[in-house]
Amino acid sequence: MADTDEGTAAGGSAGDRLVSAVAEVSADDGPFSSPAENASDLRSVLVTSVLDLEKLDLDLHRGTHHWVPRSQRLFGGQIIGQALVAAARSVSDDFFAHSLHCYFVRAGDPKVPVLYQVERTRDGRSFLVRSVKAIQHGKPIFICQASFQLQQPSPLHHQFTMPAVPLPEELLTVEELIQKYLSIPHLGENAKLGLNKILAEEIPIEIKPVNPPDFYSRVAMEPKKLFWVRAKGHIGEGNMKLHCCVAAYVSDYSFLGTALLPYPNYRLQFSASLDHAMWFHCTFRADQWMLYECESPWAGNSRGLVHGRLWRRDGVLAASCAQEAVLRVKAGSKL
């Protein structure tokens, strides 16, 4: 299982809850060789480092780590993104990822690299299937199947309507929200320490919550949340394989916390992703703002299920995802 860093969740001291709430919204030139469109652009660290796998042999790659969550376990989104990079390297440029289905089977160790072993399960005329096994200490920590499709036009097309929300230019980033919280008079030292630790983290994505957490409120909320998200830095056009890998990485951020919104009086003792699925619907750019719509239709039996939709800002549904995780809680203290 991979800890998803949904952290210490609701409950605890007011300072702890603030830190937890903010944290929750919290080849040659990369995984695929492609020249930078503009030499003055700052390339995204997701391209140059996080998703840049070392090729060891045919269909065998090694990945290292960039951001490690407070749990000190590997971030699940990084394993998903790196596995999709490994799979995508084994298919021709005219095939694009349309879905992936993953299971986390052991916790990842951030102190050692991850080996990604790709099996070319099936090559068809329209669809290709790749199986990927992520290995540490001689054992699989993650298994994934990814399917790629040759682009095919169709008269069938429909989608849900994108939620009406403020544009990202009208909202504050998580970092700006933290600075705002730090200006609250008489803010406790523990809260200040925790918030400054978050500011010091080098997370490679940018988030703008649509409804940011209120420091002083502690009420049950509907298990839904919305935030704008994009990769930091430049990725560029023309490489949908890479944008899908980045979106897979991004999809695991602040996801499971949605299932905890109705339970402000419980503390999260342990969380770990069990599985993750994703479907890619159209072209998009992961370095441009996309709206992430998250909702949890069910929780029970110490598990929680979350669905997500990534929207382009022009209202087109770019990708859908789903995840189930272990969620173990205990009653928290009253304010």
- 145 belongs to the catalytic site: no
Asked if 104 and 126 count as a contact pair (C-beta separation under 8 A), the reply is no
Helices (H), 133-216: 174-182, 189-200
Catalytic residue among 3, 16, 52, 252: 252
Burial environment of residue 219 by CB neighbours within 10 A (0 to 12, 13 to 18, 19 or more): exposed
Distance CA 288, CA 100 (A): 22
Q: The sheet that has 266-280: what strands, in order across it?
A: 54-57, 60-63, 114-123, 127-136, 139-150, 95-104, 266-280, 317-331, 303-312, 290-300, 224-231, 205-209
Enumerate the β-bridge partners of residue 115.
Answer: 62, 135
User: Could you say which of 34, 82, 273, 296 is catalytic?
Assistant: 273
Q: Which residue has the tokens 């983290």?
A: 201
301: left (phi over 0), alpha (psi -120 to 50) or beta: left
- 273 carries an active-site annotation: yes
Look up 152 and say whether it is catalytic: no
Task: List residues with catalytic annotation.
Answer: 252, 273, 323
